[in-house]
Amino acid sequence: MKEKVSKALNAQVDRELQAEHIYLAMSLWFEREALSGFAGWLRAQAAEERTHAFRILRHLEDRNARVELGGLDKPPADYDSPLACMQAALEHEKKVTGHIDDLYELARSEGDHAAEVMLQWFVTEQVEEEKTFTQLVEQLQRVGESAAGLLVLDRQQGERGGEGR
Ligand SMILES: [Fe+2]
Ligand SMILES: [Fe+2]
């Protein structure tokens, strides 16, 4: 495996772990706001990001490439509103999509077919991730200042995947 590709994939391992860290911090904030549905769902999202990191990590190991972890940045602890929080999450996912696209491009230009195939899963996954967060942002926008609406959304999120807790 070319060092150029393995280094770029290493950076993505860190980014997925950073996403885990960010979603966990968001989940802590929602829990403090007494919105346990969102909190649990974000915890499940955080756990999912960890599986993404391991997917790439294992690929590097399988191909005898070096894996070295970088450091994590401190994620924001507070948000102005559930909407602001989900908007930040969506922006983060868009950034990740950009990185995945760049990695895919690199794998192709370096002729690394194995990395290309591995990354295909991530290309599809990012479509799903952006869709999920976009929907949530739109629903929160629709709910606006309605506390009742927010509680309905919170319950809905809890039903979607509370097992992350
Ligand atoms: Fe991810
Ligand atoms: Fe994600």
CATH number at residue 14: 1.20.1260.10
Question: Distance from the CA of 93 to the center of ligand 2, in angstroms?
Answer: 6
3 state DSSP class of 69: coil
Question: Distance from the CA of 40 to the center of ligand 1, in angstroms?
Answer: 17
CB 55 within 8 A of CB 36: no
Residue 84 has pLDDT above 70, yes or no: yes
Cα gap 109→117, rounded to integer Å:
13
Residues bordering ligand 1, an ion, CB closer than 5 Å: 16, 49, 52
Tokens of 102: 């760049």
Residue 114 has pLDDT above 60, yes or no: yes
Cα gap 21→79, rounded to integer Å:
15
Instruction: Provide mean pLDDT across the span 70-91.
Output: 97
Domain count, the chain: 1
Indicate the helix (H) or strand (E) that contains 97. helix 82-109
CA angle 162, 77, 73 (to 5 degrees): 100
Question: Distance from the CA of 160 to the center of ligand 2, in angstroms?
Answer: 16
- Per residue in 51-72, pLDDT (tens digit) is 999 999 999 999 999 999 999 9
Residue 165 has pLDDT above 90, yes or no: no
Question: Distance from the CA of 132 to the center of ligand 2, in angstroms?
Answer: 10
3 state DSSP class of 110: coil
Q: Give burial (CB, 10 Å; 0-12/13-18/19+) of 50.
A: middle
Domain carrying residue 143? 3-164
Among 23, 50, 49, which residue's Cα sits nearest to residue 38?
A: 23
Question: Distance from the CA of 28 to the center of ligand 1, in angstroms?
Answer: 19
